[in-house]
Amino acid sequence: MHVVTVAEEPIAGAGSRLRWKNQQKNLEKKIVTEILPAKKFHKAEEYHQHYLSKGGKSGHAQSPSKSCKDPISCFG
């Protein structure tokens, strides 16, 4: 797993180490997480921006106020 950050300081808690330790008990291989600084950001093509408000996979515009059932739940 990789955690990429644009912040100068390290991520506080970096994803709840305690939770990962508990999950590790059920796995055969060790969980390894590397926290890396972001290098270069490439903004996605315009048709990817505001995906749900443009209709998402259903073709019907959605918003957080409409009880969206689509698995994508990030609006912005």
Q: Is the pLDDT of residue 44 over 80?
A: yes
pLDDT at 75 over 60: no
pTM exceeding the 0.75 threshold for the entire prediction = no
**H/E/C letters for each residue in the chain?**
CEEEECCCCCCCCCCCHHHHHHHHCCCCCCCCCEEEECCCCCCCCHHHCCCCCCCCCCCCCCCHHHCCCCCCCCCC
d(CA 73, CA 47): 17
Q: pLDDT digit string (tens) for 20-32?
A: 667 777 778 777 7
φ and ψ at 10, to 5 degrees?
-60, 155
Res. 67 pLDDT band, cuts 50 70 90: low
Q: What is the mean pLDDT of residues 48-63?
A: 73
In this prediction, residue 51 carries a pLDDT of 75
pLDDT (0 to 100) of residue 50: 78
